[in-house]
Structure 1
Amino acid sequence: MNILFSWLGTKDIENMLDGEQNASISTTAIKSQVPFDKIVILSNHKQEHWERFERFVKKRMSTINRPAQDIQVYKANIDSPIDYEAIHQETETWVTKLSEQSDTLSINLTSGTGAMTALSVLIGKGKANVQFLQTTPKNELLQVEIPIDFGQEYVKSASKNIANTAASLPKIDSAFSDITAQSNAMKNVVDKAKRIARSEVPALILGDTGTGKELMANAIHQGSLRANKPIKIINCGALSENLVDSTLFGHKKGAFTGAEKDHPGLFEQADGGTLFLDEVGELSLSVQVKLLRALQQGEVIRLGDTKTINVDVRIIAATHQDLSTLVKEGKFREDLYYRLAVGIIFMPTLSDRVEDIPLIVGQLIEQINASGSKHPEYISKNISDNGIKFILSQSWFGNIRELWSTLNRAFLWTDSEVITEKHMLEAMLNRSKTETSESIELAYNDKVDIIQLTENYQKKYVLAALKASGNVKNHATKMLGLKDHQTLSNWMKRLRIENQK
């Protein structure tokens, strides 16, 4: 398919009104060596003449037996002919879309303002199947070979600007300053996140509950070129099925009972910025289809409407679920998964970044004390060395979120100025663990050493209980549900576990 893209120029309208004379657009359509299957024209002025101009060009095409069915003037959402930001957004949206649809996309550089021409060149040069055309005052058609790769120069200039800005005011680094990263595991994650922040690719943040996925999403947004635009956050798992559509894509007045006025969805609200989809694995398959369309085409349609709205939104998604497994189970679209999984970040658990825990505890304590300081009877608190040691010995399956809740309980339940191991012990929640969720499958000829497997399993749990209890046998015995500490000693001897205390 061959497509012509052009802005509508004043001369195009004037010549049509003055005896239906040709100007740049009609000349290009007539004299192009290869006929255009589709002609897309953008404009924000003289709308009263659009329909007549479409008929004028169609008539010219029909006269010479060229395709005339798909010729249309589209409204461009720009405030003025020198509204660079809006012109850029409109041009990028249309050129990207049309380039994907066509074998060759021709861009007319004659019609429109200088801003429209410049941005058409900058954006068009980045597409492999784009060619540039322009007409002379005598209605001669020329194919323009631009010797400078403006697209590449633009990227180089933008890259230098990012580097200079980062050197003088380290925007990227400051954006990640709230993330504690003393451990190698977290340093590697932050380094990857900074690289993703500088790009425009979608980001997918994976990790267990409480690992700080939302904090990372905010850091990526603040470290990006979209930082001066909004970031909108939605927990997909907290929305009912009938509200997801309206919340993400908006609705028209009267679309459903209670829709008393038009409502822009989060995609429109985040236009130019970032949309963070937390727990994206909770979305239904029907909503996933619409989300994929918005990502691929940069378009949304409000509920109850037929009008397409162009949006420029960067998506950051997060989930604690294994999306690849959901794909296999048919619960998550494979094409959406690969669309999101470009810039992937795996957030480490708290137990994988032990070196960060003392600093994280200090930061959380500061927040608790700052919040409590507004109360006249509040006593500011700190934590003892044995309190920190106890925290380091725990697994923290809920990660930072569980640690935060436990510290809050410890601070709440005592008036002591120092939080000790005893206070932390009292603040810990009981977690009953009676079975594993892992399924076991065997083939007909498989052989297993069930005694060895069982002993290995027991050994892991005994070691974990000893670690969590600080090697206090009485408490480890209770954790494991054994009869008495002598029983535990016997187990340790049988499992060849040395007594550490």
Structure 2
Amino acid sequence: MHTLFTWLGNRDIENMEQEQSAAIVSLATKSEIPFDKIVILSNKDEAKWDSFERFLKKRMAMISRPSEDIKIHLAQIQSPIDYQSISVETEKWITKLSEESDTLSINLTSGTPAMTTLSVLHGKGKSNTRFVQSSPKNVIEEVEIPLDFGKEYVKSASKNIAHTATSLPKIQKAFSELTAKSKTMTDVVEKAKRIAASEVPALILGETGTGKELMAHAIHKGSLRANKPIRVVNCGALADNLVDSTLFGHKKGAFTGADKDYAGLFEQANGGTLFLDEVGELKPDIQVKFLRALQQGEITRLGDTKTINVDVRVIAATHQDLTSLIEQGDFREDLFYRLAVGIINMPPLRDRLEDIPVIVEQLTEQINASGAKHPDYISKKVSENGIKFILSQSWLGNIRELWSTLNRAFLWTDAKLVGEKELSDAIINRRFGEQSNDVRLSFNDKVDIVQLTENYQKKYVEAALKASGNVKKHATQMLGLKDHQTLTNWMKRLGIHNEKEQ
């Protein structure tokens, strides 16, 4: 997503009243790459905001550029020249927009000198920002600012590194950039392209960290709705008393604190796409309203009786087994089949070995790009034996776990090459104890308990040998066995052959 961040200047308002363009309109209409979102801050002329928004949207619509997500926000500042309050407001918005966007363009023309200065100060600490300005003749140009802003610069860059380490990696923007060297992933992408070209709902299944949200964005960008908004919500993160209002909106007075009408995510995504992550977390009463929105394209705000028509393409995702939830009565079967028209199974990282070197390179570039904003950062790369070590691991947390591990490995060393030692030290240890899942048997069921036990033992021994690089000593420690002779005896009993005797 390409976003424009700008302050609202006096000239922007004055020219609007004369039906003429100033900096904001010029940048919005003449930018080589169109803006998907435009965020404008102001602390004055509030009575003219609606007029300016309409004026800008009209200009954008005339040249078929995205115009849905344009909004003026009230800036909580003491005055247009109060550096402290402007700094707080600017840092808040630039940090938020930088996290949400692939590229954040910052307008340096509109606003006071204090606003421009602090936009540069905080924007320079982000790895995905660029600065633009407009001349008096409305000619736009990109501005290079090769300056070091000292302590404030370092502080902002450090915050960016911290955020990058904890956020999801942005590996790809669209289908053409999806990492798909392996046949497994290539097949998935081809299926997703077919789904994107249609208007059917999509259901993305896969383990945590496999990139379900990235796939959802790729489907949106590859669809006919690409120029319309996409809204994203994690159903598992919503409080029970807020789910209805968040998805479907509410009327003023619907509940305590509802002091004005609110358009829910279905309305916000009208014409575009709504991505519901962890859809299995939705409660049955919300599933009923969700099904109605899918089947009839109708929603009703909380506290209202009026029906609102919406045109929304729904993409849902979950790491849960929805068929099991249906059997337990926790997920509606009719809703499942309504969603499960275009099913995509995201493969775990361990089934995409051919993709891993490319993914590691992409993640490394992202970490280095973020770290390069800090003057003391040393750029790094993963060595060949580091790649081999990564390939030997199961990565139960998939790309998210790999991303986190690389960040820790890069953080704890000043070496330019990160290898097996640094990576193994960075992996978070997991302990697997007793399974908490209940076992249910019917009266006439029969099981071979010995065979079941041996199957589990064999799988864990083979996994430990693989993760340890077939080093028996380390595999023994991983499995909690007495010594490596015990492991050898187990291997003979289970019919496991070791490629590397230690």
Q: TM-score, normalised on structure 2? A: 0.64
The residue correspondences of 1:14-93 to structure 2 (distance < 5 A) are none
Deviations 1:174-231 (A, max 9, x none): 7313320011111111001000000000101111100100000000000000001000
Q: Look up the equivalent residue of 1:499 and give its one-letter code.
A: N
Relative to structure 1, the CA distance from residue 242 to residue 454 in structure 2 (aligned partners, 3 Å threshold; closer, same or farther) is closer
Is 1:470–2:469 an aligned residue pair? yes
Relative to structure 1, the CA distance from residue 367 to residue 224 in structure 2 (aligned partners, 3 Å threshold; closer, same or farther) is same
Q: Look up the equivalent residue of 1:490 and give its one-letter code.
A: N
Corresponding residue number in structure 2 for 1:76: none
The residue correspondences of 1:150-229 to structure 2 (distance < 5 A) are 175-229=174-228
Is 1:371–2:403 an aligned residue pair? no
| Inter-partner Cα distance in structure 2 for 1:290 and 1:182 | 40
| Inter-partner Cα distance in structure 2 for 1:296 and 1:447 | 44
Match of 1:241, SS?
coil
Relative to structure 1, the CA distance from residue 174 to residue 321 in structure 2 (aligned partners, 3 Å threshold; closer, same or farther) is closer
Post-superposition offset of 1:352: 1.2
| Inter-partner Cα distance in structure 2 for 1:497 and 1:305 | 65
Match of 2:176, SS?
coil
Corresponding residue number in structure 1 for 2:408: 409
Q: Look up the equivalent residue of 1:305 and give its one-letter code.
A: D
Corresponding residue number in structure 2 for 1:492: 491
Relative to structure 1, the CA distance from residue 259 to residue 452 in structure 2 (aligned partners, 3 Å threshold; closer, same or farther) is closer
| Inter-partner Cα distance in structure 1 for 2:261 and 2:315 | 26
Post-superposition offset of 1:354: 1.1
Q: Look up the equivalent residue of 1:318 and give its one-letter code.
A: A
Is 1:457–2:459 an aligned residue pair? no
Corresponding residue number in structure 2 for 1:39: none
The residue correspondences of 1:293-304 to structure 2 (distance < 5 A) are 293-304=292-303
Is 1:331–2:330 an aligned residue pair? yes
Match of 1:177, SS?
helix
| Inter-partner Cα distance in structure 1 for 2:344 and 2:454 | 36
Corresponding residue number in structure 2 for 1:431: 430
Post-superposition offset of 1:449: 4.5
Corresponding residue number in structure 2 for 1:350: 349
Corresponding residue number in structure 1 for 2:253: 254
Match of 1:251, SS?
coil
Q: Unpaired segments of 5 or more residues in structure 2?
A: 1-57, 59-63, 65-171
The residue correspondences of 1:113-132 to structure 2 (distance < 5 A) are none
Deviations 1:131-170 (A, max 9, x none): xxxxxxxxxxxxxxxxxxxxxxxxxxxxxxxxxxxxxxxx
Post-superposition offset of 1:335: 1.2
| Inter-partner Cα distance in structure 1 for 2:308 and 2:332 | 24
Corresponding residue number in structure 2 for 1:292: 291
Post-superposition offset of 1:462: 1.3
Match of 2:177, SS?
coil
* Bigger-Rg structure (1/2): 1
Corresponding residue number in structure 1 for 2:233: 234
Q: Look up the equivalent residue of 1:482 and give its one-letter code.
A: L
| Inter-partner Cα distance in structure 1 for 2:263 and 2:332 | 26
Q: Look up the equivalent residue of 2:261 and give its one-letter code.
A: D
Is 1:264–2:263 an aligned residue pair? yes
Corresponding residue number in structure 2 for 1:316: 315
Equivalenced residue count is: 332
Relative to structure 1, the CA distance from residue 205 to residue 480 in structure 2 (aligned partners, 3 Å threshold; closer, same or farther) is same
Is 1:362–2:361 an aligned residue pair? yes
Is 1:275–2:277 an aligned residue pair? no
| Inter-partner Cα distance in structure 1 for 2:349 and 2:182 | 10
Match of 2:232, SS?
strand
Post-superposition offset of 1:499: 3.0
| Inter-partner Cα distance in structure 2 for 1:440 and 1:258 | 46
Post-superposition offset of 1:262: 1.1
Relative to structure 1, the CA distance from residue 444 to residue 378 in structure 2 (aligned partners, 3 Å threshold; closer, same or farther) is same
| Inter-partner Cα distance in structure 2 for 1:227 and 1:221 | 6
Post-superposition offset of 1:442: 4.9
| Inter-partner Cα distance in structure 1 for 2:312 and 2:449 | 54
Q: Unpaired segments of 5 or more residues in structure 1?
A: 1-78, 80-84, 86-172
Relative to structure 1, the CA distance from residue 445 to residue 303 in structure 2 (aligned partners, 3 Å threshold; closer, same or farther) is closer
Between the two structures, name the one with larger relative contact order (CA 8 Å, sep ≥ 6): 2
| Inter-partner Cα distance in structure 2 for 1:396 and 1:227 | 33
Deviations 1:267-325 (A, max 9, x none): 11111000001101101111111111111111111111111111110100001111111
Post-superposition offset of 1:495: 2.8
| Inter-partner Cα distance in structure 2 for 1:278 and 1:231 | 13
CA-atom RMSD, angstroms?
2.1
Relative to structure 1, the CA distance from residue 295 to residue 499 in structure 2 (aligned partners, 3 Å threshold; closer, same or farther) is closer
Post-superposition offset of 1:474: 1.4
Post-superposition offset of 1:438: 5.5
Q: Look up the equivalent residue of 2:352 and give its one-letter code.
A: R
Match of 2:291, SS?
helix
| Inter-partner Cα distance in structure 2 for 1:352 and 1:210 | 13
Deviations 1:76-125 (A, max 9, x none): xxx9xxxxx9xxxxxxxxxxxxxxxxxxxxxxxxxxxxxxxxxxxxxxxx
Q: Look up the equivalent residue of 1:474 and give its one-letter code.
A: K
Taking every aligned residue pair, what percent have the same amino acid on both sides? 75
Match of 2:241, SS?
helix
Relative to structure 1, the CA distance from residue 244 to residue 440 in structure 2 (aligned partners, 3 Å threshold; closer, same or farther) is closer
Q: Look up the equivalent residue of 2:303 and give its one-letter code.
A: G
Post-superposition offset of 1:443: 5.4
Post-superposition offset of 1:445: 5.8
Relative to structure 1, the CA distance from residue 304 to residue 377 in structure 2 (aligned partners, 3 Å threshold; closer, same or farther) is same
Relative to structure 1, the CA distance from residue 340 to residue 175 in structure 2 (aligned partners, 3 Å threshold; closer, same or farther) is same
Match of 2:220, SS?
helix
Corresponding residue number in structure 1 for 2:86: none
| Inter-partner Cα distance in structure 2 for 1:413 and 1:195 | 44
Q: Look up the equivalent residue of 1:234 and give its one-letter code.
A: V
| Inter-partner Cα distance in structure 2 for 1:324 and 1:185 | 24
Q: Please, which moves more after superposition, 209-218 or 488-497? A: 488-497
Relative to structure 1, the CA distance from residue 240 to residue 375 in structure 2 (aligned partners, 3 Å threshold; closer, same or farther) is same
Relative to structure 1, the CA distance from residue 444 to residue 366 in structure 2 (aligned partners, 3 Å threshold; closer, same or farther) is same
Post-superposition offset of 1:471: 1.2
Deviations 1:405-428 (A, max 9, x none): 111111111111110100011011
